[in-house]
Structures are given as C-alpha cells and as structure tokens.
A and B are shown apart, each in its own frame.
Chain A
Amino acid sequence: MHRLKSSLLVLVVAAVCLGQAPNPLANPRVRRLGDQLMCLCGCGATITGCNMLGCSHSKPAREKLLAMVNAGMSDSAILDSFVQEHGVEILAKPPAQGFNLLGYVVPFIGIAAGLAFVWLVIKRFRKPLAVAGGPEIDDAAFASYQAQIEKDLEKLDR
C-alpha cells in the first residue's frame, strides 16, 4: 500500500513538473500547509511566506506540496512526509511532545511561578508594620486624624 502511494506520488510530481505548472500558491491548501512548514534556505520564513526569487528550498517544496494535495493526501500525511525527508526542523512549530513540550509549557510555568511569587510578596507586604512606641491618643482624636488623612489622600494624585 505504501509503495503504491509512493509510486502514485512520483507520478503526480512528474506530471506536474512536465506540464505547464500553475503557481502552487494559488491553491489555498498549499498556502495553509506551507505556513506550517519552514523554508530551510535561511530566510526565516515559512514555505508560503518565503519570497526569495528561485529559492532552492521553498520553490520545490511548494511544487511537492501541490502534487501531494492533488494526490488527495491528508494534511497529516503530507506533514509527516516532509518531516521524514527533512526532520522536525521543517515544522514551523515543534511537535508538543518529548523535550519540545518544554518549549510550550515553560513560559506558562514561569507565569504560574511569577503569580505565586507576587502572591507571596503581596502577603508579606500586607503584614502590618510593627507600631513604634508613639504618643497615645484617644478615640476622638484618632478619628479626626484618620478623617484628615483620608481627606488629604483624596486630594492627592490617585
């Protein structure tokens, strides 16, 4: 079955190359899949995004993509085929498994740790300061001071 698929693929690729090939990027599925694959020419763009003239990587890759799309292959089969040929480096985002899972989770672990840290800081800073031995004042005076403080703070820049 695998050999049959491969032979079919070779036939389709050959047919596409020999004929007057339409621009692969005119096919929306090629564009979408090409956006999930990196161009390895060093431009840093995806296969869809690379606009280097006559790029040695993105141009044949687009043609291959079109051939595979026309052959009726599924998205995952097409991506797997590219990974088999070029390694996971071809994927625009690494698969979220094994060591590469760290790539996805570490930023959020960092945020969680940061949140925990901020929470601890807030808890620590909320502890009231030890009150120094100042003059004792009665309720009425305390209330009037507090009212004055509130009034003054209202006027201050929020």
Chain B
Amino acid sequence: MENLGALAVLLAFCLAVFAILAGFVGGWKRNAFLAHAAGRAVYSVWILLTVAASVLVYSLITGDYRFAYVAEHSNRAMPLMYKFASWWGGQEGSLLFWSWLLSCYSAVVVFTNRRRHRSMMPYVIGTLMMTQCFFLIMNSFVASPFKMLAVGRTIQAVADGNGLNPLLQYPAMAIHPPMLYLGYVGFVVPFAFAIGSLITRQPGDEWIYTTRRWALVTWLFQSTGILLGAGWAYAVLGWGGYWAWDPVENASFLPWLSATAFLHSVMMQEKKGMMKVWNMVLVSGTFFLCIFGTFLTRSGVVSSVHAFAQSSIGPWFVGFLAIMVAGTLYLILDRLDYLKTESRLESVISRESSFMFNNLILVAACFSILWGTLFPVISEWATGEKISVGKPFFNRINIPIFLFLLFLTGVGPLFAWRRTSLESLRRNFQWPLVAGLVLVAGLIAAGMRAPFALTAFGLCLFVAWTIVAEFYKGARAISAKTGGNLLAGAYELTRRNQRRYGGYIVHMGIVVMFVGFAGSAFNLDSTVEVNKGDAFSIGHYQLRVMDLTSGDNDNYAWNRAAIDVNKDGAPLGVFYPERRFYKSGERQATSEVAIRRRLNEDLYLNFAGMSDDNQRAVIQAYVNPLVSWIWIGYYVLLFGTLACLVPSKVRLQYARTQVLGVKKKAYAPAEK
C-alpha cells in the first residue's frame, strides 16, 4: 500500500514519456500503430494516476499518518469533506491533483477524437503528455505526496496529523481549488490542438472548431473558481472585501483575461478568417499563464497569503515554461504562411475593429496586472530597494482600463460586421447613451460624487440597454412573424443563435457584476471594542451586544458575540459573528462572519478578537452596498455560458466576405 501510489506515479511517468515519443514519431512517420499506441498510453496514464490518487485519498480519509503528506495536511478531528479536500490543500497533493485532472482531460480528448483528426491527434497527444510528463516529474522526483515518515530505516506513524489549514476549512474552499484547477488544466487542451495544427500545417480552422467548447467550458470553470475564491475571501477572511489583488488571486485572473480575449477573437477567425496568428498567440499565452500561475503559487517569488510553502520547484517551472515558449514561438514563426488572413477590413467602424480593440484592452488589462504583480521583484532587482504593490496601485491602474472594457462591451454589439453607417451608429447609440448620461446626471443631483462609481453606473446602464435592445429587436421580429409573445420570441431568438445571444447574456452578467464592484466606493466600516450590553451604530444600523460567549470542541475553540441589530429602529434579529482558534498546527484563528445579505447592501459583522486586557470584544462592522450583485452577476454569466454551449437550432454558415476575382468592366458611354 505504502509503495503502490509512488509506483503508480512512476509507471505513469514512464508511459507519458512513451506517449510523447509514440505520438511525435507516429505523427511524423505516419505510423498508425505508434499513433494508436500513444492513445492507449494516455488511457493507461489515467488509470495509473487514478490508482495513485485513490491511494492518497484513502490514506487521508483513514488517517494513515505514516505518509508525511497525510500527517502534514490532515488530522482525526477534521470532517470527512475536509479530509478529502486535503488532497489539494498542500503542495505535493495539489500537484498530483493537477496531474490526475490532466490525465482525465487527456483521456476524454483521445476518446472523443478517436476517429477524427488522424494526422493532428498524435501531436495533440504528444503535447498533452509533455505537460503531463512535467507534472509527473514533479510528482515522482521533486515533490512526491507518497514520502513516508521514518526513524532511521523504520517507517513510523505519528499519532495525529497537523490538519488542513483552518482557513481552507470552509465549504466554498473545498470546491474553489478544484474549479480553478479544472480551468488551469483545461486550457492545456486548446493549446495542444493549436500545436497539433501548427505542426501538421493545417490550412483550415479545424482546431478552432474542435476546441471551441473546451475553451468555453474551461473558461466557465475558471470563472467559477475565481468567484468562489472571492466568495470565500468575503465570508472567511473577515476584512469585509472579496478581492485584494493578491499575487495568487492575480495569477488566477490572468489566464481568465487572455482566455476571454481568445473567446472573442476566435470569432474573427471563424467568420472572417482573420487574426489567425493572434489566436495562436492568445491560446498559447493562456496556457503559459496557467503554468505561470501554478509557478507563482508555489515558488515563493512573490509573497502571498495564499501561497504554498516556499519550495525548490520554481526553477523546474521556469525551465518548462522556457522550453514551451521557445518551441511555440518557433512553430508560429515557421508556419506564418499557413496563418495568413483570408479577408480584409472594409471599414474602421465595424464589428471586426471592435473585436481588435476589445482584444487589445483585455490583453492590456492582463499585462498591467502581470506587471503590477511582478513589479516589486523587478524594482528590487533594478534598484535593490524593496517596494510593495497593493490594492491602491492596482485600483489606480486597472479601474480606468476595466471601465473602458465595459464601454467596449456595450459598443461592440452595436457595430455590424464589415461596416457600420453613421446613421446606424446614431440610431443604435442614441438612446443607450442618453439613458447612461441621464442616470449619471441624476446620481450627481442626488449627491453622489465618486467619479469612477458614477462612470461605472452610467456605463452599466448604457451596456444593459444595448443588450436588452438587441434582444427586443430580434424578439419583436420573431413574435411578429410567429404571432407569439416577446418572451417566446426572445427564447426562439436565442435558440436560433445560442452563441451570440448566450454571449449577450454573459455580457449582462458582467454588467451586473460591475454594479456590485461600483458599490464598493460607498463602503462604510467601523471597529469598536464592546462589552455585553454596549451599543454602537454604523450607517442606518443600530447594534447592541446581547451576549459574549466562548467554548470549544475537538477541532477548535471559539469566541462568539450575539448582536441585536436594528435598522432605523426596526428590528432585524440577532447575529452571531464568531472567532475560531483551531487546535492543530499553529492555532490559527479564523472568522465566521455574520452577514445580512440584501440587494441594496450587506451588513457584515466580524468578531475580530478580544481587546488587550481580554475584557472586551473587538467587533468590526461593515456596510457594503450592492455586493450581492456580484454573486447574482455570476449566476447570469453561468446561465449565459451554458446557453452558449447548447447547439443552435439553426446551423449558421458564416460567409467569408472576401471579394473574389470579379472585375467591373471599364466605363463606356451607352450607345443609342
């Protein structure tokens, strides 16, 4: 048992090496036997890694404290769910989780394409297994989760383990890392197809059609992971916020941004045969950013509260990234002839141009966040002086960029493909623009002075109006034709072009989220030291401490406050913020905040600790306007993405609007 996991990982590594060789040689020599064997090796890697993962999970659940990993990240008092979540709670286990997920994805890719892309698949397998091989090197030789505790040459178990980091013992946190990993790992698949397409010099867009859904599903996982992380930070960390621009948060956001750019620019390739090189760059960039994100979390290059313990695996990641970047760059430059654009732009004011600007701003946002994340390292290297780059820096740089992106979200769909007449522009822009400006004027008149929030609210209405107008125009035309109502018309409209209208719903989700983000400009907060019976207030809320209690169980000790809350005199009930001190490990404290969630604002109460003299409770109270809209926006985004994934009722054929060899006859006056 104790050697089974390590042996399975080692065998998987050997088979991954075989799959790389069989894939590339089989593809190059057009040897069907080798290509087929590469596919079978992928299935075998999946089986072996499932065995290895099962051994680790079994050991975590049963508490086999002979394993160093189990002793470090699990303990007897933890609930079953968190024992399972310990699989990805530490460095070694999470690397095995990465490998296992990639093996699952790879097996699905091989199975679903077993009768397709015969020339490209061996290279796709080779590329997938190269990534797999890298992670298996980590699992086997650098950070093995199957190391045993021993005294001398005798394997020995400890009585109990340290337990999972208490901050991770929260339901959303049990799902958040797998979601992010599903995102990170999933982007390997479009990248592998892109490389396969480059190597085999595919003239068409086959890789785009094949990986479109992969990219979208992966993007959805990444979005879910990011939002779950934000939700976790909001509910567990106790500082009243959901995003701190922490390097590890940024690392998850970077590939999301580049993948979003890819999902947009890919439409240009499908519809117009344009931006082929750019799509290769974006899909590769997204993959590199995924690896970079994994590296950032683990290398200790930047300090982060989220990061795993500093380890020596950084150089391995840098080496792997360097090899992959160099190889991809060579392939793209060598195959430029196959990536020539098929169409020309007919007008600057067109959907095509708006896609280019959208891509530019998404990539700029990605770059600025990457730059901010790495700037402390760059600055220290250049000047020898340590600096910090915190939330104020990121907000200052990124808020204008994201507001411009929001503006483009509204503008893009108003432009037609090929060209847009000024009359059409006026017609489409007029009312959304007026509505946005009227809202801003109204808010200023009402006393609002925060410029970014005002701009955000104005833009949100502008974009929402354009999206609703798009649905309304289409639904009205359909309902006029079919005699149904507008709702049925909107449903039919979406069914006819799932991707387009699903995309609009996703845009609406982003708008709703921006409403939530803009609300943060009006946050209120207060910190008080209170005794039983004390009262304080924040905003419209009056709070009175009814009781202060403490206690403990097997896993943690706790302090709890019972706070009676009134709003403008009306009773809202009693809230119980709690502070926990976990017994295992370093007796880390966590917050169980009490939140009253409403659409207009959240009341957020955090038991921050006891005062210096241990006589009074320190309570932090926050009023966070509009936060709920962020979570609602996510559900809209989820619904829109799922709508995009459903096949359209009507199969659309996109015409490439290229002018083909027809010459107009030279002008000659007509003869009488």
Tell me the minimal C-beta distance from B458 to chain A in angstroms. 22
Asked if A85 is at the interface (CB within 8 A of a chain B CB), the reply is: no
1/0 per residue, CB under 8 A from B, across A10-28: the answer is 0000000000111101100
Asked if B115 is at the interface (CB within 8 A of a chain A CB), the reply is: no
A104 touches B397 (CB 8 A): yes
Known A-B contacts A38-B390, A92-B388, A125-B274; the reply to A118 vs B655 at CB < 8 A is no
B661 touches A110 (CB 8 A): no
Tell me the minimal C-beta distance from A41 to chain B in angstroms. 10
Tell me the minimal C-beta distance from B62 to chain A in angstroms. 34
Bound: A106/B378 CA distance, A: 13
1/0 per residue, CB under 8 A from A, across B395-422: the answer is 0110001000000000000001110000
Inside 8 A of A128's CB, which chain B residues have their CB? 344, 659
Q: Which residue of B lies closest to A134 (CB)?
A: B661
Asked if B372 is at the interface (CB within 8 A of a chain A CB), the reply is: yes
Inside 8 A of A138's CB, which chain B residues have their CB? 665
Known A-B contacts A121-B356, A125-B344, A153-B418; the reply to A88 vs B305 at CB < 8 A is no
Bound: A99/B386 CA distance, A: 12
B388 touches A51 (CB 8 A): no
Inside 8 A of A52's CB, which chain B residues have their CB? 589
Bound: A94/B660 CA distance, A: 56
Tell me the minimal C-beta distance from A71 to chain B in angstroms. 21
Inside 8 A of A115's CB, which chain B residues have their CB? 360
Residue in B241, B367, B661 whose beta carbon sits within 8 Å of that of A132 in the complex: B661
B interface residues, how many (CB within 8 angstroms): 79
1/0 per residue, CB under 8 A from A, across B484-503: the answer is 00000000000001001000
Asked if A126 is at the interface (CB within 8 A of a chain B CB), the reply is: yes
Q: Which residue of B lies closest to A20 (CB)?
A: B613
A139 touches B664 (CB 8 A): yes
Known A-B contacts A93-B396, A127-B344; the reply to A110 vs B660 at CB < 8 A is no
A122 touches B345 (CB 8 A): yes
Asked if A156 is at the interface (CB within 8 A of a chain B CB), the reply is: yes
Bound: A80/B391 CA distance, A: 20
Tell me the minimal C-beta distance from A157 to chain B in angstroms. 6
Inside 8 A of A111's CB, which chain B residues have their CB? 360-361, 364, 401
Inside 8 A of A36's CB, which chain B residues have their CB? 392
**CB-contacts of B592-608 with A (<8 A):** 606, 608
Q: Which residue of A lies closest to B351 (CB)?
A: A158
B356 touches A122 (CB 8 A): yes
Residue in B367, B379, B389 whose beta carbon sits within 8 Å of that of A93 in the complex: B389
Bound: A153/B416 CA distance, A: 11
Inside 8 A of A107's CB, which chain B residues have their CB? 364, 367-368, 371-372, 397, 401
Inside 8 A of B343's CB, which chain A residues have their CB? 125
Asked if A1 is at the interface (CB within 8 A of a chain B CB), the reply is: no
1/0 per residue, CB under 8 A from B, across A81-124: the answer is 00000011111111000111011101100110011011001100
A51 touches B657 (CB 8 A): no
**CB-contacts of A129-145 with B (<8 A):** 129, 131-139, 142, 145
A131 touches B401 (CB 8 A): no
Inside 8 A of A136's CB, which chain B residues have their CB? 663-665
Bound: A152/B648 CA distance, A: 20
Q: Which residue of A lies closest to B619 (CB)?
A: A23
Residue in B241, B348, B613, B657 whose beta carbon sits within 8 Å of that of A49 in the complex: B241
Asked if B375 is at the interface (CB within 8 A of a chain A CB), the reply is: yes
Bound: A118/B385 CA distance, A: 37
Tell me the minimal C-beta distance from B580 to chain A in angstroms. 11
Asked if A4 is at the interface (CB within 8 A of a chain B CB), the reply is: no
A137 touches B391 (CB 8 A): no
Inside 8 A of B652's CB, which chain A residues have their CB? 157
Bound: A87/B372 CA distance, A: 19
Known A-B contacts A23-B528, A51-B591, A157-B500; the reply to A103 vs B393 at CB < 8 A is yes
Q: Which residue of A lies closest to B527 (CB)?
A: A25
Bound: A24/B183 CA distance, A: 42
Tell me the minimal C-beta distance from B272 to chain A in angstroms. 10
Q: Which of B361, B393, B608 has the most chain A CB within a 10 Å cutoff?
A: B393
Asked if B113 is at the interface (CB within 8 A of a chain A CB), the reply is: no
Bound: A107/B606 CA distance, A: 37
**CB-contacts of B222-246 with A (<8 A):** 237-239, 241, 244, 246
Inside 8 A of B525's CB, which chain A residues have their CB? 31
A interface residues, how many (CB within 8 angstroms): 66
Asked if B151 is at the interface (CB within 8 A of a chain A CB), the reply is: no
Asked if B529 is at the interface (CB within 8 A of a chain A CB), the reply is: yes
Bound: A56/B10 CA distance, A: 45
Asked if B341 is at the interface (CB within 8 A of a chain A CB), the reply is: yes
A131 touches B663 (CB 8 A): yes
Asked if B357 is at the interface (CB within 8 A of a chain A CB), the reply is: yes
Q: Which residue of B lies closest to A22 (CB)?
A: B529
Q: Which residue of A lies closest to B499 (CB)?
A: A157
B391 touches A26 (CB 8 A): no
B528 touches A51 (CB 8 A): no
Q: Which of B356, B606, B620, B658 has the most chain A CB within a 10 Å cutoff?
A: B356
Bound: A156/B655 CA distance, A: 8
Inside 8 A of A104's CB, which chain B residues have their CB? 396-397
Tell me the minimal C-beta distance from A99 to chain B in angstroms. 5
Q: Which residue of A lies closest to B652 (CB)?
A: A157
Q: Which residue of B lies closest to A154 (CB)?
A: B416
B379 touches A118 (CB 8 A): no
Asked if B383 is at the interface (CB within 8 A of a chain A CB), the reply is: yes
Known A-B contacts A43-B305, A51-B238, A107-B397; the reply to A100 vs B529 at CB < 8 A is no
B344 touches A90 (CB 8 A): no
1/0 per residue, CB under 8 A from A, across B359-389: the answer is 0110110011001100100010011011111
Inside 8 A of B346's CB, which chain A residues have their CB? 126
Known A-B contacts A53-B589, A125-B341; the reply to A158 vs B416 at CB < 8 A is yes
Tell me the minimal C-beta distance from B213 to chain A in angstroms. 19
Bound: A94/B375 CA distance, A: 10
Asked if A42 is at the interface (CB within 8 A of a chain B CB), the reply is: yes
Bound: A122/B613 CA distance, A: 68
Inside 8 A of A106's CB, which chain B residues have their CB? 371
Residue in B386, B397, B589, B662 whose beta carbon sits within 8 Å of that of A137 in the complex: B662
B391 touches A46 (CB 8 A): yes
1/0 per residue, CB under 8 A from A, across B512-530: the answer is 0000000000000111110
Bound: A12/B621 CA distance, A: 28
1/0 per residue, CB under 8 A from A, across B297-315: the answer is 0000001110000000000
Residue in B379, B401, B497, B528 whose beta carbon sits within 8 Å of that of A103 in the complex: B379
Interface contacts beyond A87-B386, A92-B391, A142-B662: sample of 5 additional A-B pairs, CB < 8 Å, sorted by A: A23-B528, A26-B526, A38-B390, A122-B345, A136-B664
Which 7 A-B residue pairs are closest in the complex by CB-CB distance? A134-B661, A132-B661, A107-B368, A92-B390, A25-B527, A93-B393, A89-B386
What are 9 A-B contacts with C-beta separation under 8 Å? A51-B620, A92-B392, A93-B390, A100-B379, A103-B393, A107-B364, A110-B367, A134-B660, A152-B655
Q: Which B residues form the contact surface with A (CB < 8 A)?
A: 237-239, 241, 244, 246-247, 274, 303-305, 341, 343-346, 348, 351, 353, 356-357, 360-361, 363-364, 367-368, 371-372, 375, 379, 382-383, 385-393, 396-397, 401, 416-418, 497, 500, 525-529, 579, 589, 591, 606, 608-609, 611-613, 618, 620, 652, 654-655, 657-665, 667
Q: Which A residues form the contact surface with B (CB < 8 A)?
A: 20-23, 25-26, 31, 35-36, 38, 42-46, 49-54, 87-94, 98-100, 102-104, 106-107, 110-111, 114-115, 117-118, 121-122, 125-129, 131-139, 142, 145, 152-153, 156-158
